[in-house]
Structure 1
Protein backbone atom coordinates (compact mmCIF):
# COMPACT_ATOMS: atom_id res chain seq x y z
CA UNK A 1 0.00 0.00 0.00
CA UNK A 2 1.69 3.23 -1.08
CA UNK A 3 1.91 6.20 1.15
CA UNK A 4 -1.21 8.37 0.89
CA UNK A 5 -0.95 12.06 0.06
CA UNK A 6 -3.69 12.79 2.60
CA UNK A 7 -2.79 13.02 6.28
CA UNK A 8 -1.71 9.56 7.47
CA UNK A 9 -4.04 7.89 9.94
CA UNK A 10 -2.03 7.86 13.15
CA UNK A 11 -3.95 5.08 14.88
CA UNK A 12 -1.07 2.97 16.20
CA UNK A 13 -0.83 4.60 19.61
CA UNK A 14 2.97 4.58 19.37
CA UNK A 15 5.09 6.54 16.92
CA UNK A 16 6.98 3.53 15.56
CA UNK A 17 3.71 1.71 14.84
CA UNK A 18 2.36 4.75 13.00
CA UNK A 19 5.59 4.88 11.00
CA UNK A 20 5.28 1.24 9.92
CA UNK A 21 1.55 1.63 9.23
CA UNK A 22 2.13 4.72 7.08
CA UNK A 23 4.17 2.79 4.49
CA UNK A 24 3.84 -0.99 4.94
CA UNK A 25 6.01 -1.43 1.85
CA UNK A 26 9.19 0.47 2.63
CA UNK A 27 9.94 0.67 -1.10
CA UNK A 28 6.83 2.88 -1.42
CA UNK A 29 8.37 5.48 0.89
CA UNK A 30 9.44 8.60 -1.01
CA UNK A 31 11.13 11.72 0.36
CA UNK A 32 7.86 13.67 0.15
CA UNK A 33 5.96 10.88 1.92
CA UNK A 34 8.56 10.71 4.69
CA UNK A 35 8.39 14.46 5.29
CA UNK A 36 4.58 14.33 5.20
CA UNK A 37 4.64 11.65 7.91
CA UNK A 38 7.09 13.66 10.04
CA UNK A 39 4.79 16.68 9.81
CA UNK A 40 1.66 14.64 10.62
CA UNK A 41 3.41 13.06 13.62
CA UNK A 42 4.52 16.55 14.74
CA UNK A 43 8.20 15.70 14.61
CA UNK A 44 8.68 18.72 12.36
CA UNK A 45 6.57 21.82 11.76
CA UNK A 46 5.01 22.55 8.37
CA UNK A 47 7.64 25.26 7.89
CA UNK A 48 10.51 22.86 8.66
CA UNK A 49 8.83 20.26 6.45
CA UNK A 50 8.85 22.70 3.52
CA UNK A 51 12.57 23.32 4.09
CA UNK A 52 13.22 19.58 4.12
CA UNK A 53 11.20 19.07 0.93
CA UNK A 54 13.43 21.58 -0.84
CA UNK A 55 16.49 19.67 0.41
CA UNK A 56 15.83 16.74 -1.90
CA UNK A 57 16.60 18.68 -5.11
CA UNK A 58 19.28 20.89 -3.51
CA UNK A 59 21.18 18.11 -1.67
CA UNK A 60 19.97 14.82 -3.12
CA UNK A 61 22.73 12.72 -1.52
CA UNK A 62 21.84 13.73 2.04
CA UNK A 63 18.12 13.27 1.41
CA UNK A 64 18.68 9.89 -0.27
CA UNK A 65 20.87 8.70 2.63
CA UNK A 66 18.14 9.48 5.17
CA UNK A 67 15.45 7.98 2.94
CA UNK A 68 17.48 4.78 2.69
CA UNK A 69 17.77 4.65 6.51
CA UNK A 70 14.01 5.28 6.83
CA UNK A 71 13.23 2.48 4.39
CA UNK A 72 15.58 0.08 6.21
CA UNK A 73 14.05 1.08 9.54
CA UNK A 74 10.48 0.60 8.28
CA UNK A 75 11.24 -2.79 6.75
CA UNK A 76 13.05 -4.01 9.87
CA UNK A 77 10.31 -2.79 12.21
CA UNK A 78 7.64 -4.51 10.16
CA UNK A 79 9.56 -7.79 10.58
CA UNK A 80 10.11 -7.16 14.30
CA UNK A 81 6.47 -6.34 15.04
CA UNK A 82 5.19 -9.28 12.97
CA UNK A 83 7.56 -11.63 14.83
CA UNK A 84 6.45 -10.22 18.18
CA UNK A 85 2.80 -10.85 17.30
CA UNK A 86 3.63 -14.45 16.39
CA UNK A 87 5.73 -14.78 19.56
CA UNK A 88 8.81 -15.57 17.47
CA UNK A 89 12.44 -14.68 18.06
CA UNK A 90 13.55 -11.24 16.87
CA UNK A 91 16.60 -11.51 14.63
CA UNK A 92 19.52 -9.28 15.63
CA UNK A 93 19.83 -7.83 12.14
CA UNK A 94 16.26 -6.47 12.42
CA UNK A 95 17.23 -4.34 15.40
CA UNK A 96 20.38 -2.96 13.76
CA UNK A 97 18.60 -0.10 11.91
CA UNK A 98 17.07 0.95 15.26
CA UNK A 99 20.43 0.83 17.05
CA UNK A 100 22.17 2.65 14.20
CA UNK A 101 19.89 5.64 14.71
CA UNK A 102 19.96 5.45 18.51
CA UNK A 103 23.78 5.41 18.55
CA UNK A 104 24.21 8.63 16.60
CA UNK A 105 21.30 10.66 17.95
CA UNK A 106 21.62 13.06 20.86
CA UNK A 107 18.69 14.51 22.74
CA UNK A 108 16.71 14.42 25.95
CA UNK A 109 13.41 13.26 27.43
CA UNK A 110 10.70 15.79 28.18
CA UNK A 111 7.29 15.55 29.87
CA UNK A 112 4.56 16.55 27.43
CA UNK A 113 0.81 16.82 28.09
CA UNK A 114 -1.34 15.31 25.35
CA UNK A 115 -5.13 15.16 25.69
CA UNK A 116 -4.85 15.69 29.44
CA UNK A 117 -2.38 12.82 29.88
CA UNK A 118 1.32 13.25 30.62
CA UNK A 119 3.81 11.24 28.63
CA UNK A 120 7.57 11.19 28.17
CA UNK A 121 8.66 12.32 24.73
CA UNK A 122 12.16 12.14 23.29
CA UNK A 123 13.33 15.47 21.87
CA UNK A 124 16.22 14.92 19.47
CA UNK A 125 18.96 17.51 19.06
CA UNK A 126 19.14 18.55 15.44
CA UNK A 127 22.37 17.53 13.79
CA UNK A 128 22.53 16.16 10.28
CA UNK A 129 19.25 14.52 9.32
CA UNK A 130 19.30 11.33 11.39
CA UNK A 131 17.57 13.12 14.27
CA UNK A 132 14.39 13.05 12.16
CA UNK A 133 14.13 9.30 12.79
CA UNK A 134 15.29 9.36 16.43
CA UNK A 135 11.84 9.42 18.04
CA UNK A 136 10.66 6.58 15.78
CA UNK A 137 13.70 4.47 16.69
CA UNK A 138 13.26 5.24 20.39
CA UNK A 139 9.58 4.28 20.25
CA UNK A 140 10.47 1.00 18.54
CA UNK A 141 13.18 0.24 21.10
CA UNK A 142 10.68 0.71 23.94
CA UNK A 143 8.21 -1.75 22.37
CA UNK A 144 10.94 -4.29 21.59
CA UNK A 145 12.30 -4.04 25.15
CA UNK A 146 8.82 -4.78 26.55
CA UNK A 147 9.01 -8.19 24.87
CA UNK A 148 6.06 -10.45 25.65
CA UNK A 149 4.54 -7.74 27.87
CA UNK A 150 4.07 -5.41 24.90
CA UNK A 151 0.44 -4.75 24.10
CA UNK A 152 1.15 -4.92 20.39
CA UNK A 153 -1.84 -5.92 18.24
CA UNK A 154 -2.84 -6.26 14.60
CA UNK A 155 -6.25 -4.94 13.56
CA UNK A 156 -8.85 -7.75 13.43
CA UNK A 157 -10.11 -6.47 10.07
CA UNK A 158 -8.40 -8.84 7.59
CA UNK A 159 -8.37 -6.06 4.96
CA UNK A 160 -6.67 -3.53 7.25
CA UNK A 161 -3.30 -4.83 8.46
CA UNK A 162 -2.49 -1.89 10.76
CA UNK A 163 -0.49 -2.44 13.93
CA UNK A 164 -1.64 -0.73 17.12
CA UNK A 165 -0.72 -0.58 20.79
CA UNK A 166 -3.58 -1.72 23.03
CA UNK A 167 -3.91 0.85 25.79
CA UNK A 168 -7.40 -0.32 26.73
CA UNK A 169 -8.12 -1.17 30.34
CA UNK A 170 -9.26 -4.70 29.46
CA UNK A 171 -6.41 -5.33 26.99
CA UNK A 172 -8.94 -6.75 24.54
CA UNK A 173 -9.05 -4.08 21.87
CA UNK A 174 -9.48 -5.65 18.41
CA UNK A 175 -9.55 -2.76 15.96
CA UNK A 176 -7.07 -0.10 14.90
CA UNK A 177 -10.01 2.27 15.28
CA UNK A 178 -13.58 1.58 16.31
CA UNK A 179 -14.67 4.45 14.06
CA UNK A 180 -12.99 2.88 11.03
CA UNK A 181 -12.62 -0.90 11.16
CA UNK A 182 -14.79 -1.63 14.20
CA UNK A 183 -17.88 0.01 12.71
CA UNK A 184 -17.28 -1.64 9.33
CA UNK A 185 -17.16 -5.00 11.06
CA UNK A 186 -20.37 -4.31 12.99
CA UNK A 187 -22.19 -3.18 9.83
CA UNK A 188 -21.00 -6.29 7.95
CA UNK A 189 -22.08 -8.58 10.82
CA UNK A 190 -25.49 -6.86 10.97
CA UNK A 191 -25.94 -7.31 7.20
CA UNK A 192 -24.94 -11.00 7.39
CA UNK A 193 -27.36 -11.58 10.26
CA UNK A 194 -30.27 -9.98 8.39
CA UNK A 195 -29.42 -11.80 5.15
CA UNK A 196 -29.36 -15.06 7.08
CA UNK A 197 -32.68 -14.25 8.76
CA UNK A 198 -34.30 -13.49 5.37
CA UNK A 199 -32.97 -16.71 3.87
CA UNK A 200 -34.40 -18.85 6.70
CA UNK A 201 -37.85 -17.17 6.62
Structure 2
Protein backbone atom coordinates (compact mmCIF):
# COMPACT_ATOMS: atom_id res chain seq x y z
CA UNK A 1 0.00 0.00 0.00
CA UNK A 2 1.40 3.40 -0.97
CA UNK A 3 0.81 6.50 1.10
CA UNK A 4 -0.86 9.09 -1.13
CA UNK A 5 0.76 11.97 0.78
CA UNK A 6 4.36 10.75 0.55
CA UNK A 7 4.50 8.03 -2.10
CA UNK A 8 6.07 5.74 0.49
CA UNK A 9 5.00 2.18 1.14
CA UNK A 10 3.24 1.69 4.48
CA UNK A 11 1.95 -1.33 6.35
CA UNK A 12 -1.34 -2.43 4.76
CA UNK A 13 -2.57 -3.51 8.21
CA UNK A 14 -2.61 0.15 9.17
CA UNK A 15 -0.90 2.09 11.92
CA UNK A 16 0.96 0.15 14.59
CA UNK A 17 -0.87 -0.57 17.84
CA UNK A 18 2.04 -0.37 20.24
CA UNK A 19 1.26 2.57 22.52
CA UNK A 20 -0.39 0.52 25.31
CA UNK A 21 -3.12 3.18 25.46
CA UNK A 22 -5.99 3.84 23.06
CA UNK A 23 -5.53 7.62 23.23
CA UNK A 24 -1.89 7.34 22.20
CA UNK A 25 -2.68 4.78 19.50
CA UNK A 26 -4.97 7.50 18.13
CA UNK A 27 -2.01 9.90 17.87
CA UNK A 28 0.01 7.17 16.17
CA UNK A 29 -2.34 7.09 13.19
CA UNK A 30 0.02 9.78 11.90
CA UNK A 31 3.69 8.86 11.79
CA UNK A 32 6.93 9.81 10.08
CA UNK A 33 9.26 7.82 7.84
CA UNK A 34 12.52 9.10 6.38
CA UNK A 35 11.66 12.58 7.63
CA UNK A 36 8.30 12.73 5.83
CA UNK A 37 4.79 12.58 7.27
CA UNK A 38 2.83 9.34 6.93
CA UNK A 39 -0.96 9.56 7.08
CA UNK A 40 -2.72 6.25 7.76
CA UNK A 41 -6.27 7.61 7.44
CA UNK A 42 -7.23 8.46 3.85
CA UNK A 43 -10.83 7.24 3.91
CA UNK A 44 -13.59 6.52 6.38
CA UNK A 45 -12.94 2.82 5.75
CA UNK A 46 -9.36 3.29 7.03
CA UNK A 47 -10.83 4.71 10.24
CA UNK A 48 -13.35 1.87 10.51
CA UNK A 49 -10.56 -0.72 10.12
CA UNK A 50 -8.51 0.99 12.84
CA UNK A 51 -11.53 1.15 15.16
CA UNK A 52 -12.25 -2.54 14.54
CA UNK A 53 -8.66 -3.39 15.53
CA UNK A 54 -9.42 -1.55 18.79
CA UNK A 55 -12.60 -3.59 19.28
CA UNK A 56 -14.93 -0.72 18.33
CA UNK A 57 -17.45 -1.56 15.60
CA UNK A 58 -20.73 0.00 14.48
CA UNK A 59 -23.97 -1.64 15.53
CA UNK A 60 -25.27 -4.12 12.94
CA UNK A 61 -27.06 -2.24 10.18
CA UNK A 62 -26.06 1.18 11.55
CA UNK A 63 -25.37 3.62 8.70
CA UNK A 64 -21.93 5.22 8.62
CA UNK A 65 -21.10 8.27 6.49
CA UNK A 66 -17.45 7.56 5.58
CA UNK A 67 -16.57 11.16 4.72
CA UNK A 68 -18.06 12.48 7.97
CA UNK A 69 -16.33 9.75 9.98
CA UNK A 70 -12.96 10.58 8.41
CA UNK A 71 -13.39 14.31 9.06
CA UNK A 72 -14.49 13.86 12.67
CA UNK A 73 -11.83 11.23 13.43
CA UNK A 74 -9.07 13.46 12.06
CA UNK A 75 -10.45 16.42 14.04
CA UNK A 76 -10.50 14.32 17.22
CA UNK A 77 -6.93 13.21 16.56
CA UNK A 78 -5.73 16.81 16.08
CA UNK A 79 -7.53 17.84 19.26
CA UNK A 80 -6.07 14.91 21.21
CA UNK A 81 -2.56 15.74 19.94
CA UNK A 82 -2.93 19.32 21.15
CA UNK A 83 -4.37 18.34 24.55
CA UNK A 84 -1.83 15.59 25.23
CA UNK A 85 1.06 17.77 24.08
CA UNK A 86 0.01 20.70 26.25
CA UNK A 87 -0.61 18.45 29.25
CA UNK A 88 2.82 16.83 28.79
CA UNK A 89 4.38 20.32 28.79
CA UNK A 90 2.42 21.29 31.92
CA UNK A 91 0.37 23.89 30.05
CA UNK A 92 -3.38 24.36 30.55
CA UNK A 93 -5.72 23.41 27.72
CA UNK A 94 -9.41 23.96 27.08
CA UNK A 95 -11.35 20.69 27.31
CA UNK A 96 -14.51 22.14 25.75
CA UNK A 97 -13.99 20.62 22.30
CA UNK A 98 -13.25 17.21 23.82
CA UNK A 99 -16.37 17.48 25.96
CA UNK A 100 -18.40 17.92 22.76
CA UNK A 101 -17.29 14.43 21.68
CA UNK A 102 -17.97 13.04 25.16
CA UNK A 103 -21.44 14.58 25.44
CA UNK A 104 -22.43 13.22 22.02
CA UNK A 105 -21.48 9.69 23.12
CA UNK A 106 -24.69 8.31 24.57
CA UNK A 107 -24.78 4.81 26.05
CA UNK A 108 -26.99 2.66 28.27
CA UNK A 109 -26.32 -0.15 30.76
CA UNK A 110 -26.63 -3.61 29.24
CA UNK A 111 -26.60 -7.01 30.95
CA UNK A 112 -25.27 -9.91 28.90
CA UNK A 113 -23.46 -13.21 29.23
CA UNK A 114 -19.76 -13.49 28.51
CA UNK A 115 -18.05 -16.40 26.71
CA UNK A 116 -18.07 -18.47 29.90
CA UNK A 117 -21.79 -17.85 30.41
CA UNK A 118 -21.37 -15.44 33.33
CA UNK A 119 -23.51 -12.32 33.57
CA UNK A 120 -21.58 -9.11 32.98
CA UNK A 121 -22.78 -5.53 33.07
CA UNK A 122 -21.55 -3.37 30.25
CA UNK A 123 -22.73 -0.42 28.21
CA UNK A 124 -24.08 -0.23 24.68
CA UNK A 125 -23.96 2.91 22.54
CA UNK A 126 -27.13 4.76 21.62
CA UNK A 127 -27.85 7.44 19.07
CA UNK A 128 -25.58 8.76 16.34
CA UNK A 129 -23.30 6.12 14.79
CA UNK A 130 -20.22 8.33 14.43
CA UNK A 131 -20.57 9.59 18.01
CA UNK A 132 -20.87 5.96 19.13
CA UNK A 133 -17.70 5.01 17.22
CA UNK A 134 -15.55 7.95 18.32
CA UNK A 135 -16.98 8.23 21.85
CA UNK A 136 -14.82 5.45 23.35
CA UNK A 137 -11.74 7.03 21.77
CA UNK A 138 -12.61 10.47 23.15
CA UNK A 139 -13.25 8.87 26.53
CA UNK A 140 -9.80 7.25 26.42
CA UNK A 141 -8.25 10.67 25.74
CA UNK A 142 -10.19 12.15 28.67
CA UNK A 143 -9.16 9.31 30.98
CA UNK A 144 -5.51 9.75 30.00
CA UNK A 145 -5.67 13.48 30.72
CA UNK A 146 -7.50 13.02 34.02
CA UNK A 147 -5.81 9.90 35.43
CA UNK A 148 -2.67 9.20 33.38
CA UNK A 149 0.82 9.45 34.82
CA UNK A 150 2.37 11.80 32.29
CA UNK A 151 5.86 10.89 33.43
CA UNK A 152 5.09 7.61 31.63
CA UNK A 153 3.59 9.23 28.52
CA UNK A 154 6.50 9.42 26.10
CA UNK A 155 7.51 9.72 22.49
CA UNK A 156 9.96 7.33 20.88
CA UNK A 157 13.56 8.51 21.24
CA UNK A 158 14.49 7.65 17.67
CA UNK A 159 15.07 10.97 15.85
CA UNK A 160 12.95 9.91 12.85
CA UNK A 161 9.99 8.66 14.89
CA UNK A 162 7.09 10.60 16.40
CA UNK A 163 5.13 7.66 17.85
CA UNK A 164 3.82 7.90 21.41
CA UNK A 165 3.54 5.21 24.07
CA UNK A 166 2.54 4.71 27.70
CA UNK A 167 5.48 3.12 29.51
CA UNK A 168 4.01 0.21 31.47
CA UNK A 169 7.32 -1.62 31.84
CA UNK A 170 8.30 -2.61 35.36
CA UNK A 171 11.36 -0.35 35.48
CA UNK A 172 9.70 2.45 33.47
CA UNK A 173 12.73 2.74 31.19
CA UNK A 174 11.11 2.14 27.82
CA UNK A 175 12.77 4.34 25.18
CA UNK A 176 11.39 3.11 21.87
CA UNK A 177 7.97 2.79 20.30
CA UNK A 178 9.05 -0.79 19.58
CA UNK A 179 12.33 -2.57 20.19
CA UNK A 180 11.76 -4.48 16.93
CA UNK A 181 11.38 -1.21 15.00
CA UNK A 182 13.21 1.82 16.35
CA UNK A 183 15.24 0.01 19.01
CA UNK A 184 16.90 -2.19 16.40
CA UNK A 185 17.30 0.75 14.01
CA UNK A 186 19.16 2.62 16.76
CA UNK A 187 21.36 -0.39 17.54
CA UNK A 188 22.20 -0.87 13.86
CA UNK A 189 23.06 2.83 13.48
CA UNK A 190 25.30 2.70 16.57
CA UNK A 191 27.02 -0.43 15.22
CA UNK A 192 27.65 1.23 11.83
CA UNK A 193 28.98 4.36 13.57
CA UNK A 194 31.44 2.35 15.68
CA UNK A 195 32.51 0.30 12.65
CA UNK A 196 33.20 3.41 10.58
CA UNK A 197 35.14 5.00 13.47
CA UNK A 198 37.19 1.85 13.84
CA UNK A 199 37.95 1.78 10.10
CA UNK A 200 38.96 5.46 10.15
CA UNK A 201 41.33 4.83 13.07
* TM-score normalised by length of structure 2: 0.73
Distance in 1 (alpha carbons) for counterparts of 2:158 and 2:150: 23
Deviation digits for residues 8-58 of structure 1 (CA, Å, limit 9, x no counterpart): 21011111111121136889542121112112222128x96xx77xx56xx
CA gap 1:27/1:197 in 2 versus in 1, 3 angstroms: closer
Residue equivalent to 1:88: 90
> Is the Cα contact below 8 Å between 1:21 and 1:163 reproduced in 2?
yes
Q: How many residues align?
A: 176
Distance in 1 (alpha carbons) for counterparts of 2:153 and 2:30: 18
Residue equivalent to 2:170: 169
CA gap 1:133/1:178 in 2 versus in 1, 3 angstroms: same
Cα RMSD over matched residues? 3.1
In the alignment, structure 2 segments of 5+ residues that lack a partner are 32-36, 112-121
Please give the residue correspondences for 1:1-201 in structure 2 after superposition, counting only pairs within 5 Å.
5-23=12-30, 29-44=42-57, 55=63, 62-85=65-88, 87-92=89-94, 95-107=95-107, 123-129=123-129, 130-146=131-147, 149=150, 151-200=152-201
Deviation digits for residues 51-80 of structure 1 (CA, Å, limit 9, x no counterpart): 77xx56xxxxx4444333212111011112
In the alignment, structure 1 segments of 5+ residues that lack a partner are 57-61, 111-121
How much has 1:183 moved relative to structure 2?
A: 1.0
Distance in 2 (alpha carbons) for counterparts of 1:162 and 1:109: 36
CA gap 1:154/1:39 in 2 versus in 1, 3 angstroms: same
Report the secondary structure of 1:159's partner residue.
coil
